[in-house]
Amino acid sequence: ISPALAQKSNSGGVLPGGNSKEPINVEAAKLDYFDKEQKLVYTGNVVATQGESKLKATTLVIFLTPKDAGEPAGAPSSSSQMRRMEAAGPVTVISKDQIGTGDSGIYEKSESKVYLIGNVTLTQGANVTKGDKLIYDLNTNQAAVTGRVRSMFLPSNSDDANHKKPAKTQ
Amino acid sequence: MTKASDGADWRPDSPRDGQNGGLRGRPSDRLDLTTSPWRGAFTAAGKHTARVRFLRGAMLVGAAIAIALILGVALFDPFRRLPRNISIGQVSVNGTQITVESPKITGYQTDGRPYEVKARSGLQDTTTPSILELSGIEAKIGMVDASTVEVTAAHGLYDGTQQKMTLQGDVRIWNRIGYDIRTKTATVDFERGSLMSDEPVSVILNGGTISANQMDIRDSGRKVSFEGAVKSLIEADSAGTESTDAPAHREK
C-alpha cells in the first residue's frame, strides 16, 4: 500500500518534494571533496535542504558525474552533476507533511528515486506506516513502503480536513 | 763594495762575441788576474732590479686581488645564500635588512611542477637570508593536471628552505576554470603542493559555493577538506535539459 499523494508532479528535485530548480543547501560539520573519485563527503549532522524538502543524516556522500579527462583538479567541473547520494546514520527525510526515517538512504538520479532502508517509518499527518524499505519516486511523488509493512491510519474526525489532504504545490 | 757572492763565472767568449766587439768580453780576458771589486756588482745590480721589478708587480697584483675579494664578499655573499633562483629589481640596503623591488622567485615542487612567486617588494634580513617578507604577492603554482592555481595576498612570509609561504590579508586562491577561494590567511607548502587556512574561508565553484571555518587542500587539489560550520550550496542543474548547466556565481 502506498499512501500516494495526489500531487501535481513536477520533475522531482533531488529530495522528495523538492523541485530541481532549487539549489540544494547542504550544511555539515565537515566536508571532504575527493577530486579523483569526484565525490563530496559531508560528515557531522548533515542537513540538506532543497526548497521545502529536507534530509538529515550523520554522513552524506554525494557522487558527481565523473569528470572527463583533462578537467582541472581541485574542483567539481562545470559539467559535473549530482548523480547519486548516499546518506547514513539515522536518516530523516522531511517533505511538506511527510516525514520518512530509516537507517540509511540512497538517492539515485538515473531512477530519480529516493530509497530509505532499514526500519523505515513514514508518517504523514497522523498516519504512520512502518516497513523495511521506502521507495519514493521523485517524478510521481509517490512513496511506497515495502517489506513487513504495518500501517496505522487515524480516522481524522476533524471535519475540515478530508481523508487525503491535497498537498499544496509550490 | 758588494762582494760578488757567486763570482761571476764568465764563460770564455766565443769567437762570435769577440767579433761584435762586446766591451764586456775582451777586458775581462786580460784583467782576469785580480778579482776586481766591481766584477759581480753589475749582475748583482741586475738581480736587484729584477727583484724590485717583481716585487712592485706583485704588490700591484696582490692589491687588485685583495680588493676584488673584499668586494665579492661584501656584495655577493648575502645574495649567494638566497633561495635558488631569484630575480630582483632595484635593491636598497639598510643595516642588515635588504629591501628588494619586485622580487621574483621560481622553483620546482617535488614532482617537478613549477611554482613562481612575484611580489611588489620584498624585505630580507641577511641574518636570516632564506626568509623573505613579501608584500603585494602574486604566486602561480602548477597543478597536477597542468592547470595553474594563482594566489594573491596583501603580504606574506616566504621560507626558502622549507619552501613554505604564509599569506595574510585578503588572500585569494583561484584556478581560472575551477574555483575561487577567499580567506584571510593561508599557508602554502610548495613542495607538498598543499594549502591550509584556519580562518573562515569562502569558495565559489562552478556549480555552487562552499564556506567553512577551515580549509585544507591536500596533494595539490586531489583532496580538499573543509571544517567547522560548513555551508555549501550546490546549484541543481536545471531540470530536463541535461546539457545546460547553470554556473551562475551567486555571492554568498
Yes or no, beta carbons of B230 and A30 under 8 Å apart: yes
Q: Is the pLDDT of residue B174 over 50?
A: yes
Coil, strand or helix: which one is A73?
coil
Q: Answer yes or no: are the C-beta atoms of A57 and A73 closer than 8 Å.
A: no
pLDDT for res B20: 47
Residue B182 CB: number of other CB atoms within 10 A? 17
Q: Where are the beta strands (DSSP E) in A18-103?
A: 24-34, 39-50, 53-64, 82-88, 91-95, 98-102
Q: Answer yes or no: are the C-beta atoms of B226 and B201 closer than 8 Å.
A: yes
Between B79 and A89, the higher pLDDT residue: A89
pTM for the whole thing?
A: 0.64
Please, which residues have CB within 8 angstroms of residue B239's CB and are 6 or more apart in sequence? Answer: A10, A11, A13, A19, A20, A21
CA dist A142 and A8 (Å) reads 11
Between B11 and B165, the higher pLDDT residue: B165
Task: Tell me whether B239 touches chain A (CB under 8 Å).
Answer: yes
Q: Answer yes or no: are the C-beta atoms of B135 and B121 closer than 8 Å.
A: yes
CA dist A28 and A40 (Å) reads 12
pLDDT for res A71: 58
pLDDT for res B143: 73
Residue numbers in B near A72 (CB within 8 A) = 143, 145, 147, 175, 177-178, 221
Provide the pLDDT confidence category of residue B111 given band limits of 50, 70 and 90: confident
pLDDT for res A103: 95
Instruction: Report the gap between the CA of B138 and the closest CA in chain A (Å).
Output: 19
Instruction: Report the gap between the CA of B235 and the closest CA in chain A (Å).
Output: 4
Residue B90 CB: number of other CB atoms within 10 A? 9
CA dist B214 and B185 (Å) reads 10
Provide the pLDDT confidence category of residue B2 given band limits of 50, 70 and 90: very low
Provide the pLDDT confidence category of residue B193 given band limits of 50, 70 and 90: confident
Please, which residues have CB within 8 angstroms of residue B9's CB and are 6 or more apart in sequence? Answer: none
Q: Is the pLDDT of residue B21 over 80?
A: no
Residue numbers in B near A75 (CB within 8 A) = 175, 178-179, 205-206, 221, 224
Provide the pLDDT confidence category of residue A126 given band limits of 50, 70 and 90: confident
Mean of pLDDT over chain B: 76
What single DSSP character describes residue A161? S
CA dist B166 and B187 (Å) reads 4
ipTM of the prediction = 0.74
What are the tens digits of pLDDT across the range A44-64? Answer: 999 999 888 899 999 999 998
Between A122 and B29, the higher pLDDT residue: A122
Sign of CA dihedral B98, B101, B107, B113: positive
What are the tens digits of pLDDT across the range B124-142? Answer: 888 888 888 989 999 888 7
Q: Is the pLDDT of residue A79 over 60?
A: no
State the average pLDDT over residues B156-162: 87
pLDDT for res B77: 53
Yes or no, beta carbons of B239 and A20 under 8 Å apart: yes
State the average pLDDT over residues B170-180: 84
| Burial class, A58, CB count within 10 angstroms (exposed 0-12 / middle 13-18 / buried 19+) | middle
Yes or no, beta carbons of A74 and B245 under 8 Å apart: no
Nearest to B194, CA basis, from B170, B224, B214: B224
Residue numbers in B near A77 (CB within 8 A) = 177-178, 206
pLDDT for res A102: 94
Q: If you search the block for the grid coordinates 655577493, which residue do you land on? A: B76
Q: Which residues 48-107 of A have a C-beta within 8 angstroms of B?
A: 50, 62, 70-82
Minimum CA–CA partner of B232 in chain A: A26
Yes or no, beta carbons of B178 and A34 under 8 Å apart: no
Between A168 and B230, the higher pLDDT residue: B230
Yes or no, beta carbons of A80 and B207 under 8 Å apart: yes
pLDDT for res B243: 33
Task: Tell me whether A24 touches chain B (CB under 8 Å).
Answer: yes
Q: Answer yes or no: are the C-beta atoms of B113 and B89 closer than 8 Å.
A: no
pLDDT for res B225: 93
Q: If you search the block for the grid coordinates 587539489, which residue do you land on? A: B221
Residue A105 CB: number of other CB atoms within 10 A? 29
Yes or no, beta carbons of B178 and A74 under 8 Å apart: yes
CA dist A29 and A43 (Å) reads 6
Q: Is the pLDDT of residue B16 over 70?
A: no
Please name the member of B222, B240, B245 whose beta carbon is closest to the beta carbon of A79. Answer: B245
Task: Tell me whether A30 touches chain B (CB under 8 Å).
Answer: yes
What single DSSP character describes residue A12? B
Percent of chain B surpassing pLDDT 90: 18
pLDDT for res A170: 43
Please name the member of A21, A29, A75 whose beta carbon is closest to the beta carbon of B238. Answer: A21
**Three-state SS letters, chain B:** CCCCCCCCCCCCCCHHHHHCCCCCHHHHHHCCCCCCCCCCHHHHHHHHHHHHHHHHHHHHHHHHHHHHHHHHHHHHHHHHCCCCEEECCCEEEECCEEEEECCEEEEECCCCCEEEEEEEEEEEECCEEEEEEEEEEEEEEECCCCCEEEEEEEEEEEECCCCEEEEEEEEEEEECCCEEEEEEEEEEECCCCEEEECCCEEEEECCEEEEECEEEEEHHHCEEEEEEEEEEEECCCCCCCCCCCCCCCCCC
Between A130 and B9, the higher pLDDT residue: A130
State the average pLDDT over residues B151-175: 89
